[in-house]
Amino acid sequence: MVAEYVPVLILMGLVFAFTVAAVLVTFVFGPKKPTPEKLAPYECGIQEIEAPQQRFPVKYLVTGMLFIIFDVEAASLIPLSILMRQLKMTGFVELIVFAVVLTVPFVYVWRKGAFTWE
């Protein structure tokens, strides 16, 4: 019983070893040419154009949230499409119900202006 899980244990060991090795190898052999920009926290090595001291709109927040919701819901259609032949008419009705439930909120957020950028 327990012996069946030995491969999992070996895999866990390999994953751990690989992670540590990858970090160590780049740390030891990688060239280091530090500049002030590279050493600054939360920067990617490029000199900043403007200090982000003031507020700025996060317009993609609503779009992003809505995308995740609709994306996940659309993904639920995949199992339905696999079983569509077997489910016959029932499956079709379920598909329509699902589409209506998905479309009404879509129309709602659209008309409420969630997709207008400006």
| Residues lying near other proteins in the complex (CB under 8 A) | 86-87, 90, 93-94, 100-101, 104-105, 107-108, 111-112
Least distance from C-beta 107 to other proteins, angstroms? 7
What are the phi and psi torsion angles at 44 (to 5°)?
-115, 20
Helix, strand, coil abundance in the chain, percent, nearest 5: 70, 0, 30
Which CB sits closer to other proteins, 46 or 107? Answer: 107
3-state secondary structure of 32: coil
Query: Considering beta carbons, is residue 22 or 114 the nearer one to other proteins?
Result: 114
Tell me whether residue 19 or residue 103 sits nearer to other proteins (CB atom).
Answer: 103
The DSSP secondary-structure symbol of 4 reads: G
